[in-house]
Structure formats: C-alpha cells, structure tokens
Amino acid sequence: MSIDERLTAAGLPTLPRGVWLEIDEAALANNLRVVRELVGTGVAINAVVKADAYGHGLVPVARVFEAAGADRLCVASLDEALLLRGAGVQSPILILFPVPPAEVARAAQARFEIVAAAESSTLASLAAWTAAQQTDGELKVHLEIETGLSRGGLKPSEAARLARRIVDTPRTSLASLWSHLASPESESATAAQVEQLEAATAEIGRAGLSVPARHMAATGGLFTGRAPLYEGVRPGLALYGLLPDDLPIADQAIDAAKRLVPAMSIRCRALRVERLSAGTSVGYGGRWTAARESVIATLPIGYGDGFVRAYSPGAEALVCGQRVPLVGTVAMDAVMADVTDVPGVGSDDEFVLIGEQNGARIVTNELARGRTTIPWEVVTNMAYRIPRVYHAGSVLLGLRTLNGEARINDVGLVD
C-alpha cells in the first residue's frame, strides 16, 4: 500500500510533497524502556528533546517520552519549553541553556527548571525572580559545573558560593548539580571530569548545604559505563535508536545497545524517471556524466531539506530493495539517482535514503561517515519543511507538515 493510500485509509491529510520522514513512535517508546532497564528505577531519565527532538518532531516525541515514563524533558531554549507546555505536555522541563533574566518569572510560572551556568547571569536571574513578588511558583535551578567541556558552568571552587545564593533566595531551590562530558569515549578524560564534579559536590557539603541530585551521563557516558549514573541521566541520541560509531560499549550495556531501534527513516518518490544517452551530464556543474545509456530518477530532496551536498558522490538510496548510487550535485530541492540497473523503476516506486526496504538497509551512521560528521548532525539537520509521518508499526498515528499537525486518537482525527 502506498503512503497516500495509507494516509487516506487512516483519515489523515495527503502529503504536500513526495518526500517524507517516517517516525516510529513504538521505536521511541522502546528505546526509553531500554534505557530505563539499563539505569534502573531509582535513576531519573531526563529525556533530551531539544532541536525539534533531534529532527524527529518536538511535540510528538515529547508526548511519547512522557507517556513512556520519562521523569523530565530537556530542551535548549525557553521557546522550545513554551511550545511543549502549549501542546499540553505536563512533565517537568529543564531548559539546558540560560534563560534571559527578564524571562525567569515566566519560566517559573510555567514550571520550567532553569540552569545556572555563570555567576553574573545567575545573580541577575535571582534578582529578577525576587522582584517578581506577585508571580506564583518556585524557581528550580540546576547548577552547572565546569568540569572540562569549557562551554559553561561554575568552577568547583565557586560552586558553593553560588549555591548558597540560590538556596537563600526566597521561593528558589537548588534542584541539581550537573555537568556534560566532552569525550565520553575517553576513559581518562571522563574520569577527570567526574573528579571535578565530585570536588564541587564536596564543596557544597563543606558549606553546610544539602547535596542535591546530580546528573552527568548522557548517551555516551551511559553506554560506555564510564560516568556514574548519580541520581539522573540525560540520554538523547540513544532514545532515537542511534549510537556513534566510535563509542566503546560497556559489557553491561551491550544488550541494551543491540535493542535500540532507529526511529527515523527518509522516504520519497521520484519526480521523474528519464532515460539519458551516454555522455549526458547530470546536475549543476556537470559533475557526473553518464558513461552509458542510463536511467536517472529525480528525487525531491536536497540541501534545503538537510540532505547536504556532501552526500554526493558516495551516498546511495534503496529502491525495489536494491542500492542505487546518487549522482550529480545535490541541489536545494532535488538529487538524482542512477536506477539503470533496477529495471522497471517508475514514479510510483518508493525510495529510501535512511531506513529499511525489503531486507536492505541504509543507516544514519553510514551517511554520517560519508560526510565526516556525527549521527546527531544527520538527523537534526532534517528540515522542518519535510513532512513527518508518525506511526507505531503499521498503524499510522499522525502527520506534521508546515501547515500543522494532525493526530489520530481512539476516536478519530484530532487537529
């Protein structure tokens, strides 16, 4: 059954374009359960959904993780957090990068938790919160410790002083100490960062303050087993079913790593399938010329969609369960595939750029290797304008396009 037939049968709108991402919500829920089993019940899972949930779709993915038992959701900015609240997401939400002081009261009122990453900005935020006497709520602050990433946070020797200012501010609590690993694949670098967080913890204790919960391990620290779980972890990439190629997996995490299921696939139909004579050049700059009579399919995805120019030459697509090379220069809205060796390909056939088809598979890490980058960038680069089709197995659940989101519930279509 074609994607159009599946959408129509589900009562969902048709696609505005011939390219779409399929997001498997069952895979997302599975991955969170895998992480839960890995860390146990006493460790909070702070699920990272920033950057449009790594390209998978912020609101739909947050709803899945909330329903699957995430203890907290992590975003990068206030507007991401506001979007989730506006969509009805009720979970605690941690904003991982500092909120402007003028917005702190608004954040607290919406039950967002904020980060203290520098003394000056934190003191300004506390002052703004103190001045907002008519604003209800409690301000929960996660104190970031600089341990080696050199991106943000207080030095361990400075932590107790700012922690004291936080807890002495009315209607304010110190929710956690936290840090982020720079090189989780490195045992020595990770150990040095852990030592720094432990030093900050000791300083807090010596100052007579209660030591709050701590969280340090994201996907890398969790699956290498080299960072303590503490009271919480912040998995991101693993929740989307992906791990980086160079990550050394700890023995106790091997089974969990095998059970992760990639949630995103990229699929499309050809705009045109044309037979070209030998010697015909294809695409901008004539970078590829047909060495024989060739059949070329034009696919409706390009660098404007996050499918970048660096993918060609070298990248491939699946059609009819067979790999075919992408040829020519990736344009803003199109790329070409050489389907000469797959007889009978037509405009109704489905191409797969990431995902599985008839037992063949193209994985995200393959594209990452092809452009010398990381899987985070590949999926996060997927442009908002590409429609997202949400499903659980063969059951369609919703569609997101530039014009909005449509969802299926137990009763029917919900706009």
| 25-39 vs 58-68: helix crossing angle, rounded to 10 | 40
Query: Tokens in use for 141?
Result: 């602050």
Spatial neighbors of 306 by CB under 8 A, at least 6 apart, are 55, 381, 382, 383, 386
Residues 265 and 279 sit within 8 Å (Cβ to Cβ): no
258, 284, 311, 384: the catalytic one is 284
How many other C-beta atoms can be found within 10 angstroms of the C-beta atom of residue 7? 20
> Angle at CA 287, nearest 5°, toward 282 and 289?
50
54 labelled catalytic = no
> Of the candidates 101, 116, 131, which has an alpha carbon nearest to the alpha carbon of residue 174?
116
Q: Considering 50, 140, 303, 311, which one is annotated as catalytic? A: 50
Q: Which amino acid is it at 62?
A: A
* Spatial distance between the Cα atoms of 345 and 317, rounded to a whole number of angstroms: 13
Does residue 50 carry a catalytic annotation? yes
And the tokens for 102? 């003028």
Give how far Cα 200 sits from Cα of 123, 177, 178, Å: 19, 8, 10
* CA separation for the pair 49, 97 (Å, rounded): 13
367: which 2 tokens? Answer: 């594209």
Long-range contacts of range 361-365, CB-CB < 8 Å, 24 or more positions apart?
361/318, 362/316, 362/317, 362/318, 362/323, 363/262, 364/242, 364/262, 364/264, 365/242, 365/244, 365/245
Helices 119-131 & 156-168, crossing angle to 10 degrees? Answer: 0
Residues serving a catalytic function are 50, 284
